[in-house]
Amino acid sequence: MVGAFEQALLALMIFVIMLGMGASLTPRDFYLALKRPQGLAIGLISQYGFMPFIGFLLITFLPLTQALAIGVLIMACMPGGTTSNIFTYFSKGNLALSVLMTVTSTVFGVVLIPVILVLYAAALDLQIPRENIIATLILLLVPVAIGMILRRLNANVGAVTEFMGSMLALFFIAFIALSWIPRNWQFLMTTTPDTYVAAIGLGLFGITIGYGFARLLQLHPRNARTVALETGIQNGPLAIAIIAFTFAGDEAQSYMAVPALYSLFIVITSTLVTLIFRRANTAAEQKLPDGLL
């Protein structure tokens, strides 16, 4: 059950998170993305090619209920989340690339997500509220645009908004942990391990396949780490928001199970992956001799 207050809070949080995403951008970032279409293509393929397919395989091979399966599918089709930027930063990845992938996947998501959802839902014979999802996605572009304008008007307001946005993305996890888990304790204790496999596997397989794909294309290790995290880390808050605004009452709780569990576990998965990445070879980074400062 999601109360009116929590729904409002959720809306506010996602608004600020998207505002922060917009504030990290300038129009020239889009220009650059288009100038290097292969980068854009890699991002879109891993985000909307691999992730939904991983979701599809999980649904096919795990005996999940209809509600859980819809949760997995929506989660798998989401664009990249802003938390990926934080993890990219700490794993010494390419922060600019991460920000760009997150944003382009969000912008292109408006068109791609409904198409992919409909395709997979038909294949899996699942009922999904298509119009609702499209409306939510379009609505989300409003704060992104406002964020971009804020940045343009005042660099300080932009930087503060950006900072708040990524911090809030982390607080969101705490919000889920505090508001959703206690009320669904019973469900979490009784549900089959398959639910957990799906929630954890989506992120873990996403990161692994993203990394393999990037290495296969001979991307620089720094960029490969970025693509990996970007692929595996989805916009959890967005999935939860879409479900909260689409389904009502107890129904929503079970649809939300996988996105909520995913959002919690992806933090753990990403932290572990970040630790591994940090140890990986960073020698190729452009090193500056000490004399400059």
In the complex, minimum distance from the CB of residue 41 to another protein, in angstroms, rounded to a whole number? 17
Residues 6+ apart with CB under 8 A from 121: 73, 127, 128
Listed residue (93, 91, 89) closest to 275, CA to CA:
91
Distance CA 192, CA 186 (A): 12
For position 163 contacting another protein by CB under 8 A, the verdict is yes
Listed residue (11, 137, 134, 128) closest to 73, CA to CA:
128
Residues within window 122-151 making contact with another protein, judged by CB under 8 A: 151
Closest CB to another protein among residues 283, 293? 293
Q: In a 3-state reduction of DSSP, which class is residue 79?
A: coil
Residue 148 exposed, middle or buried by CB count within 10 Å (0-12, 13-18, 19+)? buried
Asked if residues 28 and 266 have their Cβ atoms less than 8 Å apart, the reply is: no
In the complex, minimum distance from the CB of residue 96 to another protein, in angstroms, rounded to a whole number? 6
DSSP letters for 12-61: HHHHHHHHHHHHT--HHHHHHHHHSHHHHHHHHHIIIIIHHHHHHHHHHH
Angle at 147 between CA 130 and CA 17, to 5 degrees: 60
Candidate residues 4, 28, 189, 218; the one interacting with another protein per rule CB under 8 A: 28
Candidate residues 96, 135, 173, 188; the one interacting with another protein per rule CB under 8 A: 96
For position 35 contacting another protein by CB under 8 A, the verdict is yes
Residue span binding another protein (CB under 8 A) among the ranges 43-51, 202-210, 268-276, 280-288 = 280-288
Candidate residues 93, 158, 210, 236; the one interacting with another protein per rule CB under 8 A: 158
In the complex, minimum distance from the CB of residue 16 to another protein, in angstroms, rounded to a whole number? 15
In the complex, minimum distance from the CB of residue 53 to another protein, in angstroms, rounded to a whole number? 30
Candidate residues 216, 283, 284, 288; the one interacting with another protein per rule CB under 8 A: 288
For position 278 contacting another protein by CB under 8 A, the verdict is no
Residue span binding another protein (CB under 8 A) among the ranges 42-50, 115-123, 139-147, 279-287 = 279-287
Q: What backbone phi and psi angles, to 5 degrees, belong to 286?
A: -70, 110
Contacts with another protein, residue ranges (CB under 8 A):
26, 28, 32, 35, 95-96, 151, 155-156, 158-160, 162-163, 285-293
